[in-house]
């Protein structure tokens, strides 16, 4: 690849001169920035997309609870006689109406009727039921607050001054750079698609058996603070549900404020160092305006020297005699074809070096 001219420029200057330039340099750099960004945050979308799969797992395998109702009824109204009924009658003999002495049968007047029913009405299920409804309210308010024309303003101003001394030569520079950006931000096309997908996922949860059962029973919403039951504390799915609960209630109805940053300071770090180096480059460029021929000669000499260094690094055992012999063969061939000019020799030399490096790699 062709060498950068900047590299050649640095190589053409004595190291002492560059060192003097940098040692005696006194520079200052002032930076002013004015940043304003007013856009629609996607943080809440990330939160919902991450946690909704855990809610789906909970609703697919809901916690059930068996309720037991006990009542004393007349024998003709008793629907089922179980172990609990017999034990209860044995303890409450006053409910025995008659006893058949021949058969030993007991004829009760009243019996304990035990009704057992499976229900979804547990605290944990009502917690998820409440969270689903609050999440829909949260999304509705977020949609109402969507910014139709998000904007970005980014202005920067840099003022740089520097002086130095190279021998008796005084050098100074003043640089002022202004950038101004004030534009509308395009609304991501996938923004509304993500919202729609989240809403659809929540609506699917509303059609699950547990949600519809709780909705039918008209169960009340749970209210903060949330009870830390064993299930909520230890079940991974409920831990994520708790994270969503905290996020929704911390940000419900919260408006997204634009980002504003204004700075005015003196830069003393890497940015200033880069500008200092740019100052040196400008000086070297201007300083060589009247030294093009000398620069070209020095550059070529140093370029050839670097190429020889590369050859020696690739093959440390190569002797001076071997290199001279191989270059001599190519040189004699070229001399016989035509009178070799300096340009011809350079071309031949470069071609031979490329072939030689390729041979050494193989």
The domain limits of the chain are 5-29+264-361, 34-62+123-251, 65-119
- pLDDT grade for 300, boundaries at 50, 70 and 90: low
Please provide the average confidence, as pLDDT, over all residues in the chain: 78
Alpha carbon of residue 20 to chain centroid: 45
pLDDT digits (tens, 9 = 90+) for 155-207: 999 999 999 988 888 889 898 989 999 999 887 789 999 999 999 999 999 99
Q: By mean pLDDT, which of 33-37, 210-214, 245-249, 341-345 is the weakest? A: 341-345
Are residues 72 and 110 in contact, defined by beta-carbon separation less than 8 angstroms?
yes
Tell me the Cα Rg of the chain: 44
Place of tokens 């193989």: 362
- pLDDT grade for 37, boundaries at 50, 70 and 90: very high
Structure token digits, residue 216: 């039918």
Beta pairing partners, 96: 108
Structure token digits, residue 74: 């007349």
Are residues 147 and 114 in contact, defined by beta-carbon separation less than 8 angstroms?
no
Cβ burial, residue 96 (10 Å; 0-12/13-18/19+) = middle
Cα distance between residue 107 and residue 93, in whole Å: 11
Do you know the residue count of the chain? 362
- pLDDT grade for 3, boundaries at 50, 70 and 90: very low
Percentage of residues of the chain with pLDDT beyond 90: 40
Q: Is the pLDDT of residue 314 over 90?
A: no
**Alpha-helix runs per DSSP H in the chain:** 5-11, 15-23, 43-60, 83-91, 123-144, 189-206, 209-217, 230-234, 236-251, 270-287, 292-314, 320-337, 342-361
């Amino acid at each position: 690849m062709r060498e950068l001219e900047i590299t050649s420029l640095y190589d053409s200057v004595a190291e002492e001169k560059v060192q003097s330039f940098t040692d005696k340099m006194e520079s200052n750099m002032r930076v002013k920035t004015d940043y304003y960004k007013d856009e629609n945050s996607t943080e809440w979308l990330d939160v919902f997309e991450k946690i909704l799969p855990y809610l789906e797992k909970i609703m697919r395998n809901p916690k059930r609870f068996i309720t037991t109702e006990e009542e004393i009824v007349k024998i003709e109204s008793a629907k089922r006689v179980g172990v609990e009924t017999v034990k209860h009658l044995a303890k409450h003999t006053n409910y025995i109406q008659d006893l058949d002495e021949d058969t030993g049968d007991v004829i009760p007047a009243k019996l304990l009727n035990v009704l057992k029913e499976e229900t979804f009405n547990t605290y944990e299920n009502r917690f998820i039921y409440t969270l689903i409804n609050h999440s829909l309210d949260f999304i509705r308010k977020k949609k109402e607050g969507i910014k139709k024309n998000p904007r970005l303003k980014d202005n920067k101003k840099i003022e740089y001054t520097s002086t130095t001394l190279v021998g008796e030569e005084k050098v100074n520079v003043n640089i002022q750079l202004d950038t101004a950006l004030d534009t509308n931000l395009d609304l991501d096309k996938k923004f509304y698609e993500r919202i729609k997908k989240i809403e659809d996922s929540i609506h699917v949860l509303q059609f699950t058996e547990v949600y519809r059962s709780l909705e039918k029973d008209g169960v009340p919403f749970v209210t903060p603070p949330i009870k830390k039951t064993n299930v909520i504390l230890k079940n991974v799915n409920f831990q994520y549900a708790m994270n969503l609960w905290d996020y929704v209630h911390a940000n419900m109805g919260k408006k997204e404020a634009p980002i504003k940053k204004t700075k005015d300071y003196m830069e003393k770090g890497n940015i200033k160092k880069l500008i200092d180096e740019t100052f040196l480059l400008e000086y070297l460029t201007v300083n060589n305006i009247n030294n093009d021929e000398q620069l070209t000669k020095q550059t070529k000499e140093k370029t050839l020297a670097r190429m020889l260094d590369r050859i020696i690094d690739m093959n440390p055992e190569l002797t001076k005699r071997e290199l001279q012999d191989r270059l001599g063969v190519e040189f004699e061939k070229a001399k016989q074809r035509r009178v070799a000019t300096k340009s011809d020799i350079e071309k031949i030399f470069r071609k031979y070096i490329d072939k030689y490096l390729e041979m050494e790699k193989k």
